[in-house]
Amino acid sequence: MTKQHTPGPWTTQQSSRTEIYIVANSAEVKNKWVATSCNHEFHPTEEENERNKANARLIAAAPEMLEALQGFQKAWAENRPLTSDEAANIRAAIAKATGGAA
C-alpha cells in the first residue's frame, strides 16, 4: 500500500451542475482524478451549488494545507517564528481552500 497521497497541486473542474472533479496535475501525474464533490439534490438551489463548490475547493487545497501545517510543525518543534515563506504558504493554502485572497 502506498504511504504518500497523490502529489499536488490539485485543482477543481466543473463537470456538471452538480459534480465537480478534483484533479491532480504535477510533474509526477497529469490530469489524475483524485475525488469528486457532488450535490445529490435533483434540483439543487444556488446555495447548495455554492456549498458544493466550497467543498471542492477545500478538498483541492489539501496538499497545500498539509505542506503548510508541516512547515508550522517544524517551526514549532524548533521553537522559532515562521519564516516568511512558511507564513506565505499558510496564507496561500487558506486562500485556496476558501476561495479568498492570500
Residue 101 pLDDT grade (very low, low, confident, very high; cuts 50, 70, 90)? low
Residue 39: what pLDDT?
81
Residue 63: what pLDDT?
94
pLDDT digits (tens, 9 = 90+) for 50-87: 898 999 999 999 999 999 999 999 999 999 999 999 99
Exposure string for 56-82, b = 16+ CB within 10 A, e = fewer? bbbbbbbbbbebbeebeeeeeeeeeeb
- For range 35-42, the mean pLDDT: 83
Percent of the residues in the chain that have a pLDDT greater than 90, as a whole number: 56
44 versus 62: the higher-pLDDT residue is 62
Task: Enumerate the domain spans of the chain.
Answer: 1-60, 61-97
* Per-chain mean pLDDT for the chain: 89
Half-sphere exposure of 88 (CA within 13 A, CB side): 3
